[in-house]
Copies of this chain bind each other. A is one copy, B any other.
Amino acid sequence: MQQFILTCEKKDQRLNRKIGIFFNAWLMERLPAQLVDMFHQGNENPFSLYVEVGRERVSFVVNVIDDSLASAFRDILFTPTMTSLKFKQLKDIVFKVAERSERHLSQTTLSRIFYQDEANGRFNIQVITPTAFKSQGRYQYLPDLRLFFQSLMRQYNHWFEGQDHIDVELLDEICKRTQIAGYRLHTERYEIHNAFLMGFCGNLVVQCRGTQTLKNYVQMLLIFAEFSGVGAKTSLGMGGIRLRERDEKQSGKKKD
């Protein structure tokens, strides 16, 4: 799995919330047509994206789960001649690329996290773009842990186990041993063409009190989630998440 990040300076404009949709369209126009056709045929999209709008910077993030597709995305996003992003729908705004970076996550790394890590079971999840789950024909935008982990297990199993069903007993076990320990969340409308979906953004703390194996599995799913997105419409900019505590640990700012 590969994550491409284009960081741009943010001018003082108030940015349109549809920017993830525009970025998706921009990307689809530049990818080889046969690849785009393939995306439309499959049930699970092998890529996801989101746009993170900060105070001073805007980050365009593209996640490619299938490594064999990564080069097609890199050719577009990392080509030196592409120095700015401009969308048809935002005529007056040019996003000048200030920085490019990429992250790689292999299945081997995920296995190592599962088998060797000692997850403490407390996970601070930053929900960057609106997140929603399709359940029983309706979209849900409460932080329902069953729908949350079900979405991740489905994607993980699809891409890495080659199967479209999940271990329901394992999901039950996660739901039984894991709970929301706190949150600061708000809903946002996410406009997709002429319709809109509601989703939630903000922070979510999840606590797992199961065995070390279960904690490690939950941690592995959450690290995978940074590259897969969670829930509905992840290729259109929804469901972008980041594990916070892990970032803090990695940069030496561990709390507690």
Contacts and interface: CB of A to CB of B under 8 A. Distances in A.
Nearest to A184: B186
A187 interface: yes
Given A141-B180, A182-B187, 14 more contacts: A142-B142, A142-B143, A142-B180, A181-B198, A182-B186, A182-B198, A183-B185, A183-B186, A183-B187, A183-B200, A184-B185, A184-B186, A184-B187, A185-B185
A187 B181 CA distance: 9
Interface string A176-218: 0000111111110000000000101000000000000000000
A198 B183 CA distance: 10
Give the number of copies in the complex: 2
A190 to B, nearest CB: 12
A184 B200 CA distance: 9
Contacts of A183: 185-187, 200
17 contacts: A141-B180, A142-B142, A142-B143, A142-B180, A181-B198, A182-B186, A182-B187, A182-B198, A183-B185, A183-B186, A183-B187, A183-B200, A184-B185, A184-B186, A184-B187, A185-B185, A185-B186
A200 B180 CA distance: 12
Contacts of A141: 180
Interface string A98-117: 00000000000000000000
Interface string A55-81: 000000000000000000000000000
A183 B143 CA distance: 12
A187 B202 CA distance: 12
Contacts of A181: 198
A184 B185 CA distance: 6
Contacts of A187: 182-184
A181 B142 CA distance: 11
Interface in A108-129: none
